[in-house]
Amino acid sequence: MNRFLLMILLVFTAPAIYGQQRSVSGQVIDASTREALPNATISIVGQTGSAQLTNEAGNFVITINGRANLVVSYAGYEPSTVAVTAGQTNITVSLTKLVAGMDEVVVIGYGTQKRKDITSAISSISADQIAEMPVTSVNMAMQGRVPGLQITSGGNQPGAGTIALIRGINSINTVNGPLYVVDGVITTGDIRELNPDDIESIDVLKDASAAAIYGSRASEGVILITTKKAKIGRASINYHGYYGVQKVVKAFDFIDGKDYELLRRLAYYDEGGNKMFLNDTTSDKRFERQIFSSLELESIRNGKSYDWPSRILQVAPITSHTISVSNGNDKNRIYLSGNYYDQDGIIKNSNFKRYSITSNGETMITQALKASINLNIAHTDNKILNQEVYYNALTMSPLYPFTDAQGNNTVVLDPTVGTSDAIINNPEILTRNPQIKNNDRILGNIAFEYKIIKDLLFRTSFATDIYYDKTMYYAPRTVNVNKSYTLGGYGSIANFNYRDFTSENTLSYNFKLNKDHDFSALAGFTFEKRRQEWNAMYGSGFPSDKTTYKNMALASNRDIVSDFFNWAIQSQLARVIYKFKDRYVFNASIRRDGVSYFGENNRFGVYPSFSAAWRLIDEPFMNAVKLKGVLSDAKIRSGYGVVGSYNRTYESVYSKMAPSAYPFNSSTAVTGYQVDFYRLANKDLKWENQKQFNLGLDLSFLNNRILFNADYYKKNNQNLLMDLQLAPSSPYNYKTINVAAMSTKGFEFRIKADVIKTQNFTWQSEFNFSTYKSQVTKLLAGVDSLRPNLKAGEAPNSLIIDYVYDGIYQISDSVAARAAGALPGSVRIKDLNGDGKYNMYDMTTIGRTTPKGWGGFWNYWNYKGFGLTVFANYMFGHSIFNKAWQDYQYSNGRRLLMKEGMNFWTEKITDARGNVIVEENTNTNIPRPNAFGKAVKTLPGGTSSFAVQKGDFIKVRNITLSYDFSKTLIDKAKLRSLTLYVQFLDPFTITKYTGVDPEISQLPSGGSWSGASYDIYPRYKTTLIGVKVGL
């Protein structure tokens, strides 16, 4: 601060020491290595436009009037002010490198703070960390890197979304995900439109004391994204591009047509014991014709088998190009960037493309007034295949030929099923007809900062988030959608769009009372308004497949749906940060939100927070410890805050009528209305809120070579919204009420170390671990379980509830089997309540989907410009309901099985002529094949604990080998930097889980953890090469 005062003093005294014009030359060097620093900025205090840069050798020449004070700055170094005395013509300025982490600036919401002064739990990710791995989205860049943050991919299909959970689940019914704030603008969704290459830093506000400044929307944490801005200095152009190929990782190994044929025969034989199904000796083959289609019979005759999954898979390219331009002086700065990203899916015809432009600029209009603009415009083009595609390919009869004699895809008909469901959509036809999803998004803000008086800054910004989402789909005649198969095509167009306008006005004031008291105050007012529209049209019965969804008017059956909403949020906020003796930091904030989406009684909510930090290391009594150099930093943080959760919906608050037309006299339907009984209106609804306590410790050792951060937290979520199931006779289905409560305790830490640090070789390592335990503490009065997977005392929606698998009924168990309505060879389950019946009262908790712990492990080695990065993440202690694994072993005669499924239970079976079809096999846990579900009849839901597996895994996400070209080579090519790299993404996973991906737990739209893994898009691994060039 002394330096600052000195500067102020100098500004005012500068005119008095005017003298004659003269040149001063000098060099800027690194204080420790004595190496020259090229492109460092030199400027004369109080003289705008005087800035200039050092040359390649770190030298500069500057013209001054007599005496002057020079400010020298260089990225990553502490700036220095040097007084040039009269007569001095040559100076050497040595700059000290900033200690990593200590003076790093952290974005805290409506402001910034130095890392060393942070009082709450905030984790940051730098541009360098983001650049390590080519990722499609902000979320994926954070995966495994931020303690306490859990990123789950929504699937492997290109463009699939991600779900971020900060410190676990905070609500029972809705998972909105964290609040994303881009350059100060509160946005919606996971911001996948943003090119990760354009991000300067990500700061994650994890605890309530940090997030409370965002009030009613912050209960799931806040992710602050700062995009890249130009640095003062030489203009630069950067290019980053990569190209790679993705290959499927096969999860299951399937049987061929011959085994499939056997299973189908056995499955039908099993029902009635008719040996004609095993070997049809009738002249017209009428038994075979009942269970095989003519195409299948032809394949059987010719001994053909078709590998459908391979038919739709491909080795898929992925490519990205980003070019950015940056230029700035002390008055104007501009950063421009463009990105093209194109990823093909490993299933043919799935694809994700993104085109984005970022432009950030700022200008000093006067000394006191600054204007800035941040603008991101993106277009994404996503071709999405129905999940059914891969499932159909996997379950398809391998006896079905890919095409008919003419080379056309056949319409596949299951001869054993009698309704329109019999049409199994040919996976290859499905791949030709993806859903097309286009997004356009403009995210931007214009801000003015006006320094009213010294240290009093007024900032006003207008931000907009314009989002347009359009999905289009057409299923031709050969595809069965909602049984519209024969209706002549099915088309749909859906438009969703919103426009957010946000006005933010803040006043901030920083002042020091004397040397010991440092205040920083903020007060603000914000207002946000959204207009949101959704409309969709669906049509079927097109005269031809030629026009597809592009001419919906041609459809003979048409449906239209639409809605239209406004939302408004108005807030006041304030914060005071008080620092005493630079060692004790106190932070208090408050926000009051008023929203339109609750009834008039509960429109306003208040969110206070308080936090403090004690910089133990700076206490005089620690000097001795500090001097020894073992402990270089020590800080204790603690905070408490209240935050809210939002759920943008009016559905639960207002009652409404729905259309319900009726065709009297069998003619055109006339308008009618029915009550929408789905929810009973509740005008007393209010926010869910969360109170969280956080205790943190930051330590660093050996001159900051080892950094350690740990946080413990405890949070209580209250007034959680639940859909109370009403009696169907009421006749409402649900009423949304504020009722439930849950609590979470968690712990997370991170260790970062420069393990080896020599001239030529460095090894950096980072490890993080997170764990939490959540439990529902309150549901409804007197009720401890609302639905099977939601119980008091357990983490919400985390339970897998089903029957307990108890082996296979053997011949010797015939009596017991019969009593259960089954036969030997059927699945046996435990009759838990011993009432002799098998029904839902025998279901119990057979697994928990919340992990006991997870984290990441990152290593970086560098030897003379050769770099190697290995990054892995891990998770353990969770179960996955691997239904696919059961389904691909239990034969119903129609589904394709994996090879393990051939080890099914059976007695010795011979055909009518006495030929052995299968030998006895009773020592197994797989039931007999049966086409009519009889072998799993004891399982009313069709599943049991058989399908539950441990999900523990270590997944190597990234191995990168890079080379930074030497300076001499670069200089010859007139480049600033050049890096080449080869990268292997998701090369292997260590896990006992036998499904597609132990990391993907599908989150259904309702937001509850199903933990189920089923017919999902297969996993793949990627190999790519990339280049980064700086000009």
Distance between CA 632 and CA 626 in Å, rounded? 6
What share of residues in the chain are helix, strand, coil (percent, to 5)? 15, 50, 35
Quick one: 668 or 923, whose CB is closer to another protein? 668
Report if residue 237 touches another protein, rule: CB under 8 A.
no
Minimum distance from CB of 372 to another protein (Å)? 16
- For another protein, the binding residue among 89, 90, 92, 290 (CB under 8 A) is 290
Phi, psi of 741 (to 5 degrees): -140, 150
Report if residue 486 touches another protein, rule: CB under 8 A.
yes
- For another protein, the binding residue among 110, 473, 805, 838 (CB under 8 A) is 838
What are the residue ranges of helices labelled H in 508-551? none
**Binding map of another protein across residues 625-654, x = CB under 8 A, - = no contact:** -------------------------x---x
Residues 388, 389, 390, 395: is their CA dihedral positive or negative?
A: positive
Quick one: 105 or 670, whose CB is closer to another protein? 670
Report the DSSP beta bridge partners of residue 123. Answer: 204
Report if residue 282 touches another protein, rule: CB under 8 A.
no
By the 8 A CB rule, do 90 and 67 touch?
Answer: no
Minimum distance from CB of 431 to another protein (Å)? 21
Quick one: 458 or 468, whose CB is closer to another protein? 458
The first and second tokens of residue 696, run together, are 């943190």
Q: Identify which range of 196-204, 558-566, 622-630, 982-990 contacts another protein by CB under 8 A.
A: 558-566
What is the chain's Cα-based Rg?
33
Minimum distance from CB of 496 to another protein (Å)? 14
What are the residue ranges of helices labelled H in 802-851? 814-819
Size of the site for another protein (CB under 8 A): 91
Cβ partners under 8 Å of residue 251, min gap 6: 994, 995, 996, 997, 1018, 1019
Report if residue 298 touches another protein, rule: CB under 8 A.
no
The one-character DSSP state at 222 is E
Distances (CA, A) of 90 to 46, 793, 832: 21, 73, 90
Report if residue 89 touches another protein, rule: CB under 8 A.
no
Distance of CA 156 to the CA centre of its chain: 12
The first and second tokens of residue 688, run together, are 């869910």
Report if residue 32 touches another protein, rule: CB under 8 A.
no
CB atoms within 10 A of CB 413: 14
Interacting positions 107-146 with another protein (CB under 8 A): none
Distance between CA 756 and CA 758 in Å, rounded? 6
- For another protein, the binding residue among 79, 101, 161, 594 (CB under 8 A) is 594
Minimum distance from CB of 422 to another protein (Å)? 4
Quick one: 527 or 614, whose CB is closer to another protein? 527
The first and second tokens of residue 344, run together, are 């093909």
Distance between CA 600 and CA 252 in Å, rounded? 56
Minimum distance from CB of 433 to another protein (Å)? 18
- Name the CA dihedral angle for 260, 264, 270, 276, rounded to a multiple of 10 degrees: -120
Quick one: 527 or 965, whose CB is closer to another protein? 527
Distance between CA 526 and CA 1014 in Å, rounded? 45
Quick one: 186 or 223, whose CB is closer to another protein? 186
Interacting positions 919-958 with another protein (CB under 8 A): 931-933, 937, 940, 942
Minimum distance from CB of 17 to another protein (Å)? 24
Interacting positions 496-525 with another protein (CB under 8 A): 503, 505, 525
Strand order in the sheet with 199-205: 122-126, 199-205, 222-227, 179-182, 185-186
Report if residue 914 touches another protein, rule: CB under 8 A.
no
Minimum distance from CB of 637 to another protein (Å)? 34
- For another protein, the binding residue among 64, 106, 255, 595 (CB under 8 A) is 595
To the nearest 10 degrees (0 to 180), the angle between helices 294-302 and 257-272 is 120
Distance between CA 988 and CA 1007 in Å, rounded? 29
Interacting positions 304-323 with another protein (CB under 8 A): none
- For another protein, the binding residue among 89, 566, 703, 814 (CB under 8 A) is 566
Interacting positions 158-197 with another protein (CB under 8 A): none
Distance between CA 696 and CA 996 in Å, rounded? 38
Q: How many residues does the chain have?
A: 1031
By the 8 A CB rule, do 69 and 81 touch?
Answer: yes
**Residue among 843, 832, 855, 871 nearest 985 (CA):** 871
Quick one: 294 or 703, whose CB is closer to another protein? 294
Quick one: 629 or 1006, whose CB is closer to another protein? 1006
Minimum distance from CB of 490 to another protein (Å)? 11
Cβ partners under 8 Å of residue 722, min gap 6: 172, 173, 736, 737, 739, 740, 779, 780, 786
454 backbone φψ class: left, alpha, beta (φ>0; ψ -120 to 50): beta
Q: Identify which range of 170-178, 180-188, 463-471, 671-679 contacts another protein by CB under 8 A.
A: 671-679
Q: Identify which range of 224-232, 567-575, 611-619, 987-995 contacts another protein by CB under 8 A.
A: 567-575
Report if residue 406 touches another protein, rule: CB under 8 A.
no
Report if residue 666 touches another protein, rule: CB under 8 A.
yes
- For another protein, the binding residue among 20, 283, 668, 758 (CB under 8 A) is 668
Minimum distance from CB of 992 to another protein (Å)? 30
Minimum distance from CB of 48 to another protein (Å)? 15
Token look-up 């208040």 returns 606
Q: Identify which range of 2-10, 630-638, 669-677, 826-834 contacts another protein by CB under 8 A.
A: 669-677
Report if residue 332 touches another protein, rule: CB under 8 A.
no
**Binding map of another protein across residues 422-461, x = CB under 8 A, - = no contact:** xx--------------------------x-x-----x-x-
Report if residue 527 touches another protein, rule: CB under 8 A.
yes
Quick one: 137 or 506, whose CB is closer to another protein? 506
Minimum distance from CB of 870 to another protein (Å)? 46
Report if residue 601 touches another protein, rule: CB under 8 A.
no
Q: Identify which range of 232-240, 378-386, 668-676, 990-998 contacts another protein by CB under 8 A.
A: 668-676
Distance between CA 847 and CA 845 in Å, rounded? 6
Residues 1011, 1016, 1019, 1025: is their CA dihedral positive or negative?
A: negative
Report if residue 90 touches another protein, rule: CB under 8 A.
no
What are the residue ranges of helices labelled H in 396-491? 427-431
SS (H, E, C) 341-393: EEEECCECCCEEEEEEEEEEEEEECCCCEEEEEEEEEEEEEEEECCCHHHHHH
Report if residue 274 touches another protein, rule: CB under 8 A.
no
Report if residue 857 touches another protein, rule: CB under 8 A.
no
**Residue among 203, 180, 184, 218 nearest 107 (CA):** 203
Report if residue 665 touches another protein, rule: CB under 8 A.
yes
Minimum distance from CB of 541 to another protein (Å)? 9
Quick one: 670 or 755, whose CB is closer to another protein? 670
- For another protein, the binding residue among 49, 629, 821, 1006 (CB under 8 A) is 821
SS (H, E, C) 682-707: CCCCCCEEEEEEEEEEEEEECCCCEE
Report if residue 31 touches another protein, rule: CB under 8 A.
no
Report if residue 803 touches another protein, rule: CB under 8 A.
no
Minimum distance from CB of 570 to another protein (Å)? 4
Minimum distance from CB of 990 to another protein (Å)? 36
Interacting positions 356-375 with another protein (CB under 8 A): 366, 368-369
